[in-house]
Amino acid sequence: MKIAFISDIHGNAVALDAVLKDIEAKDVDQVVVLGDLCYRGPEPKRALELVQSLNTMVVKGNADEWVVRGIRDGEVPDQAIEMMRTEQQWTVDKLSNEDITYLENLPTGATIELTDQIKIHVFHATPTSLFEMIKPTEADEVVEANLMSEASADLYLYGHIHLPYVRYINGKTVANLGSVGLPFDGLNHASYLIAEGEGADFTVGIHRVKYDVSQVIQKVNEAGYPNPNFIKQVLGQ
């Protein structure tokens, strides 16, 4: 079984197009999506429709929750909250009531069988929170306590931090997918992860996909996105 895991698309449908094309070329058996589909990008509707067209497991991210119910005080820095609320409303205005209901009803996690001997626990940020940030530099005991609570799993995969990595702790594997639409590691290539297994054997790898970032910036400008400088800064434009 070969499964591709993607997350943190953030309305960057151009990047998602490139990732899905790359996944198709790698002949995977399944695609799983770990949240943050629409908010903070120029094409929230198209990004959502691309995800829905996969007809696959999708779990909820914090940005999906924000689209549904708004951003509460204390969830982002005070200096950013006004602009982020403006971006949230802009995103909501691009979506239908059915789209909002879809996001609202997404599950917050799932356990998937890679093989009959290997289970993967997936979630957006942690198994109990859509918002908590567990960074690649955390101590092993912090990672274990916050990400590895599902004892039956062998692999633990998440998104949220936009920083791809793979770690091995006490015989188990923890990995972050990075971000399709807004990578925070200084490389503006879309990031996703493939897990492949047979029996008790498996591989986990981060994949980076180069695409035309200038198309995204053009769409940001054409759409009148309310915070274009944020996207341009993250994508190095």
Give the pairing type, strands 190-198 and 201-209. antiparallel
User: 184: which 2 tokens?
Assistant: 């925070």
pLDDT digits (tens, 9 = 90+) for 144-201: 999 999 999 999 999 999 999 999 999 999 999 999 999 999 999 999 999 999 999 9
Token pair, residue 81, equals 């909250």
What are φ and ψ of residue 84, in 5° steps?
-65, -35
Q: Is residue 115's pLDDT more than 80?
A: yes
Q: What is the pTM of this model?
A: 0.97
Domain count, the chain: 1
Q: What gap in Å lies between CA 24 and CA 30, rounded to an integer?
A: 10
Nearest Cα residue to 37 out of 28, 55, 24, 50: 50
CATH classification at residue 53? 3.60.21.10
pLDDT digits (tens, 9 = 90+) for 23-44: 999 999 999 999 999 999 999 9
**Domain range holding 55?**
2-234
